[in-house]
Amino acid sequence: MIIRRLRNAAIAVGVVLLFVFLLAKTQGTDYAGHDRFNADLSRLKQLDATINQDVLKSRYDLLSNYDPFVSEIAEARELRGDLNRLALGPGPGKTEITRALQSYSEVLDAREELLEKFKSRNAVLRTRCDILRS
């Protein structure tokens, strides 16, 4: 009888400890940070599509200036910084996330360099076309 009570008490203590452990695990998750991280990734995807559209518009003389490129790249840099700050927190897969953000950072830098080359070469092309039209 005493053994049965001790066993039941041990099971009850185990269940309570499991409940406390699971509660602590859920409290450690930063849901707001996770949502913000996902929103930033979604916005980066939108910016990527917008930049591609603006390149095409600019190439076919449907965009009169290059101001959208400057603001879009600036916003992408801000989002990159925000993502890096959000990735500093604890959590599973941190090394993979950090590595992916580093790769994205390199791609963004290369894309910015290519956009600068495109803008200068497209300006030269526009000038030559204007001369030929006159």
63-118: pLDDT as tens digits: 989 999 999 999 999 999 999 988 876 667 788 888 999 999 999 999 999 999 99
- Is there a domain that residue 121 lies in? yes
Mean pLDDT across the stretch 57-61?
A: 92
DSSP-H helix ranges across the chain:
2-27, 31-59, 67-86, 94-133
Residues 6+ apart with CB under 8 A from 35: none
Q: Is residue 12 part of a domain?
A: no
In a domain, 85, yes or no: yes
Using a cut of 0.75, tell me whether the model's pTM lies above it. no
Query: CA 37: distance to chain centroid?
Result: 6
Boundaries of domain holding 100: 30-133
- The answer to whether residue 22 sits within a structural domain is no
> Is 63 inside a domain boundary?
yes
| Domain count along the chain | 1
Alpha carbon distances (Å) from 37 to 15, 33, 80, 117: 34, 6, 10, 31
Mean pLDDT computed over every residue of the chain: 87
> Quick one: pLDDT at residue 27?
60
Within a domain: 70 = yes
Does the residue 37 lie in any domain? yes
Task: Indicate whether 110 belongs to any domain.
Answer: yes
Q: What is the dihedral of CA 104, 102, 37, 47, to 10 degrees?
A: -20
CATH code where residue 117 lies: 1.20.58
